[in-house]
Structure 1
Amino acid sequence: MVLPKGLARFNRVVTNRLLGPLAGRGGPLARVVHRGRRSGREYRTPVGVFPTPTGYAIPLTYGPDTDWVRNVLAAGTCELEIGGGVVKLTNPRVVRDERRTVAPAAQRFFLALTGMTEFLYLDRA
């Protein structure tokens, strides 16, 4: 199970505009910088992130069929604005992890409540 699409639309219009300026400055929030598959336009999408030994994992709270995920998968690369800097990432792949092992315990509990089991893994370029 993933969060409802209606909530995704609300977040895109309201929550992302409020949290967007905070994302990328540190903590578990970052911004994925990606290009539209058709438009070529640059987008910045606020996301939660977890560090991995080779890069980062992003929980796909709305599933792998969201535009930003499809854009990153199609391009094979993106940038992550995090901690006041920019990290170039490559090798995007959707990984299903029923145990949510990449997440710290507190976040793992929340992700389990929502039934979220898919992550976008990316490697540092």
Structure 2
Amino acid sequence: MPAPRWLARANRVGLNRVVRFVAPWLPGFGLLIHRGRRSGRQFRTPVNLFRRRDGFVFALTYGADADWVRNVVAAGGCEVLTRRTRYTLTDPQVYVDEERADMPLPVRRILGIVRVSEFLYLRIAP
């Protein structure tokens, strides 16, 4: 069960405006750079991310219907700025994993408490 929509709106208006300045520097965070599927406008969304050998996994705490997820899937990819490095990401795959196996143990437990089981995987473009 994803977090409530009102919380997503509150984060977009408040917390995200501050976090987007520090997200590219902090471990486990990044700044997702994507285009609106209708407006074509560029957005910068702070996200939690987890590095995998050939890409990144994002826990979809607001579900697969979040605007940024729909934008990335519609575009077939995006860019992410994390740990002072910019990556081009492609081949978005939304999947459900009730066990949260792709997450580190402490994160797995927290996501289990809030019942997050949807994830987005993006491969680093060659």
Asked if TM exceeds 0.5, the reply is yes
Q: List, as ranges, runs of 4+ consecutive aligned residues in structure 1 with deviation greater than 2 Å.
A: none
SS state of the match for residue 79, structure 1? strand
Equivalence for 1:10: 10
Root mean square deviation, CA, Å? 0.7
Equivalence for 2:91: 91
Q: How many residues align?
A: 125
Shift of 1:62: 0.3
Superposition map of 1:1-125 within 5 A = 1-125=1-125
Shift of 1:117: 0.3
User: Residue 52 of structure 1 aligns to which amino acid in structure 2?
Assistant: R
Within 2, Cα distance between the matches of 1:102 and 1:48? 13
Unaligned residue ranges in structure 1 (runs of 5+): none
Shift of 1:26: 3.2
- Post-superposition Cα deviations, 1:34-89, rounded to whole Å, max 9, x if no partner, equal 00111111001000001112200000000001111000000001001101110000
With structure 1 as the length reference, what TM-score do the two structures score?
0.97
SS state of the match for residue 95, structure 1? strand
Query: Would the aligned equivalents of 1:26 and 1:83 in 2 still touch at CA under 8 Å?
Result: yes
Within 1, Cα distance between the matches of 2:121 and 2:20? 21
Identity %: 46
Within 2, Cα distance between the matches of 1:50 and 1:99? 16
SS state of the match for residue 21, structure 1? helix
